[in-house]
Amino acid sequence: MKVFKMNDIDWVAAETEEQAKFFYGKEVGFDQGEVEHDFVGEVSLQDTMLVEVDELPLEEQKMAQTMKRLHGTLFTYKPFSWVIEHEKITKPCVIASTEY
Rounded to an integer, what distance in angstroms lies between the CA atom of residue 78 and that of residue 81?
A: 8
Report pTM. Answer: 0.88
Is the pLDDT at 18 greater than 70? The verdict is yes
Other C-beta atoms closer than 10 Å to the C-beta of 83 total 20
Is the pLDDT at 100 greater than 60? The verdict is no
* Maximum C-alpha span of the chain: 46
The mean pLDDT value for 50-70 works out to 88
Which one is predicted more confidently, 66 or 85?
85
What are the residue boundaries of the structural domains of the chain, listed by start? 2-97
Rounded to an integer, what distance in angstroms lies between the CA atom of residue 87 and that of residue 6?
A: 20
